[in-house]
Structure 1
Amino acid sequence: MAEQQERKSDLISCFEYLATEARDLYLSEKVPVIDKAPSALTFHRRWVTSNRPVIIKNAVTKWPALEIWNLNYLRETLKQKMVSVAVTPNGLADAVVENQFVLPEEKQMKFCDFVACLENQEENRGIYYIQKQNSNLTLEFPELLEDVAGEIPWASEAFDKKPDAVNLWIGSKESVSSMHKDHFENLYVVITGVKHFILHPPTDQPFIPYEMYPVASYKETYPGEFKVEPNETGDKVKWIPVDPLKPDLGKWPLYGKARPIHCSLHPGEMLYLPSMWYHHVRQGEGTIAVNYWYDMEFDIKFNYFQFVEKLLSTVNDDR
């Protein structure tokens, strides 16, 4: 037991060195901001290859959406159109709740009714959020594509591919995306409102708890009343239980060694969120955003990430 504890301590010290070196060598305490869209070469060389986030201002100045999109415009444009909406009692979709990984209830409803639910949030009690991540902008809302762009040209050139998905997000301040990471290069644009991000680089991986949880889903049994239904297949999902806004360091003490990076994204601003970066997202009231997912390259960075994950699995720690 003593030998195992010593090995664990040595390994954690190595992980701390890794995270500290990353912060000292190429990361910063704040997300850098640049004033205009970069060339494909500059974007790839300065940000993609170093796996660093950046906020880009004036990257989408020609989008009509920046001038015309708001809830009233979208309601008038989409009217009776049936759309997919995630519904939860607490705004936590795809999150660990009471030791289960709970998915939202997905409802089909008229867009005008969705907007009415947003505008009368307290009355309806359930939290409604358009957040289906299957390229819903291109599949469900093709009539809105003329107001934005089907791709980010300089990013497509840098990644040498088209985006795998273009997603539309519309929600209220109650909707929260719990901490997670994606195997995508993410370009996130706010149209109206504000998005608040808490970020962790991949080098914070050893300090972020990941555990297996049984899958369940919310089910609205009566307006404003929900129950949690376990998945009948017995499937489990590996997910992050810690809430970075109020982390329980008694339960996950190693998270105290991580260094979160905070940033906010305002209308017309774009965040490049590199693949494998952990992120937790909140938003302001009536926020509308679009993001572009480009499939990541499963290269040496991914190999190193998997290597660290394997090292972690060899140690019986209670992260």
Structure 2
Amino acid sequence: MNAKRPLPIERIDNPSPGFFREHYLDRQRPVVITGVASRWPAVARWSPEWFREQMGEHRITVERSRSERPSNDPLEFLRNRYYEEARLGGIIDVMLSGEHPPGAFYVTYSNIFQKAPALLKDFESLPRTLGIPESWPEAVKERLTLRPGFWLGPAGTVSAVHFDRQENFNAQVTGRKKWTLFSPEDSHHLYYPALELPTVIFSPVDVEAPDAQRFPRFAGAQPHETVLDAGEILFIPSGWWHHVRTLELSISLNFWWWTLASVATTARVNYHFVRKQALGLLGKKGTSGASMPVE
């Protein structure tokens, strides 16, 4: 992958909200949390087959690729992806068939709960139970918390390395995913900002098959790795780079929310977005990444 041996991401079991905030959120340290999502009805009941039976006629937005063989190269990935609406049952049938290449169909940050609000009872809002102090006013909690996202994808699906502007909890409901993280301190090694990319929150490096001639600095980046199993949660601090490979047909939930650290990350993104505009590198459909759902 690169010159440095990956370090394992720390794991903790069923932490109190105060312990999590003091040792991980406030210090902006990633961590795998066990003993929390494993209790959710979603982990016990949800599966692709269950959604096909219960919500097969539901129309949902799916990420597609214009390429017959979707590439893990970030630039090719961003150039070729597009979105279309399709029947959820049909999408799941395609994924279960295994007849299409990884990356051809991927449900990303779907708001499936808008039409099926009963699903919200099957899990808890992690920003509210772990991330935001319970004593804060309800109106503040509401403003700081984004809606939960539903993710569904087959084995082999890859999310190219990027970072989020907000804090992120990612809960694995079914299946497994391999996560590779890099600290914001490694941004230089990941060639940030890559103003030639359509969105500045991505790195141009394919971290699974890096081009040493194009990106020699990447050899100095320190990866942190974990495989997330069903019932486990990964906290990804704002600004931490992450690359995701789906190992099995998976359902995940993610929860973004705002902190002072994430506001600072957003200010950095906006600065480079303005630079991109000033340099004339932003096309009519350019974006800073705010509307791009990435894991």
Equivalent position of 2:120 in the other structure: 145
| Structure 1 residue 305: Cα displacement | 6.7
Quote the offset at 1:151 in angstroms.
Answer: 4.3
* Counterpart Cα distance in 2 of 1:201 and 1:241: 16
* Partner residue, 2:8: 30
Question: Partner residue of 1:213?
Answer: 196
Select the residue among 166, 173, 176 that pairs with 2:155: 173
Aligned pair in 2 of structure 1 residues 95, 165: CA closer, same or farther (>3 Å)? farther
Q: Which amino acid aligns with 2:59?
A: M
Instruction: State the SS of the aligned residue for 1:122.
Output: coil
CA distance in 1, matches of 2:84, 2:230: 28
Question: Residues 164 and 238 of structure 2 are in contact (CA less than 8 Å); yes or no, is this contact kept in structure 1?
Answer: yes
Q: Which moved more, 1:188-197 or 1:88-97?
A: 88-97
Contact persistence 1:75–1:112 (CA under 8 A)? yes
- Displacement of 1:174: 2.6
Alignment of 1:266-285 (within 5 A): 266-285=229-248
Higher mean alpha-carbon deviation, 276-285 vs 148-157, is at 148-157
Instruction: Say whether residues 1:237 and 2:237 are aligned partners.
Output: no
Alignment equivalent of 2:177, drawn from 195, 217, 225 = 195
The alignment's TM-score, normalised by the length of structure 2, stands at: 0.77
Selected match of 2:85 from 94, 108, 120: 108
Equivalent residues of 1:59, 1:268 under 8 A apart = yes
CA shift digits 1:87-145 (9 cap, x unpaired): 12445599311xx83252212111110111101232688721111x3x62433543422
CA 67–148 in structure 1, closer or farther in 2 if over 3 Å, else same: same
Per-residue deviation, 1:259? 0.8
Structure 1 or 2: more strand by fraction = 1
1:49-105 deviations in whole A, cap 9, x for unaligned? 1110111111123311111111111111102111111112445599311xx832522
1:69 aligns with 2:46: yes
One-letter amino acid of the counterpart of residue 196, structure 2:
Y
Alignment partner, residue 221 of structure 2: 258
**Other structure's SS at 2:213 match:** coil
Equivalent in 279, 288, 296 of residue 259 of structure 2: 296
TM (norm. structure 1) is 0.72
Matched to 1:237, the amino acid is T
Once residues 50 and 272 of structure 1 are traced to their aligned partners in structure 2, the CA distance between those partners, rounded to angstroms, is 12
Instruction: Give 2:129's aligned amino acid.
Output: W
Match of 1:154 in 2: 129
C-alpha deviation, 1:237, in angstroms: 3.1
Alpha-carbon distance in structure 2 between the residues aligned to 1:303 and 1:43: 23
Name the counterpart of 2:111.
Answer: 136
**Aligned pairs, number:** 256
Residue identity matched to 1:212: L
Rounded to whole Å, the distance in 2 between the matches of 1:264 and 1:124 is: 22
Contact 2:151–2:251 (CA under 8 A) maintained in structure 1: yes
* Unaligned stretches of 5+ residues in structure 2: 1-5, 273-295
Larger Cα Rg: Structure 1 or Structure 2? 1
User: How much does 1:165 deviate?
Assistant: 2.6
Query: Contact 1:117–1:124 (CA<8 Å) still a contact in 2?
Result: no
Q: Percent same amino acid among aligned pairs?
A: 26
Counterpart of 2:212 (choices 249, 255, 259) is 249
Could you say if the C-alpha distance between residues 140 and 199 of structure 1 is closer, same or farther in structure 2, counting changes exceeding 3 Å?
farther
Matching residue of 1:86: 63
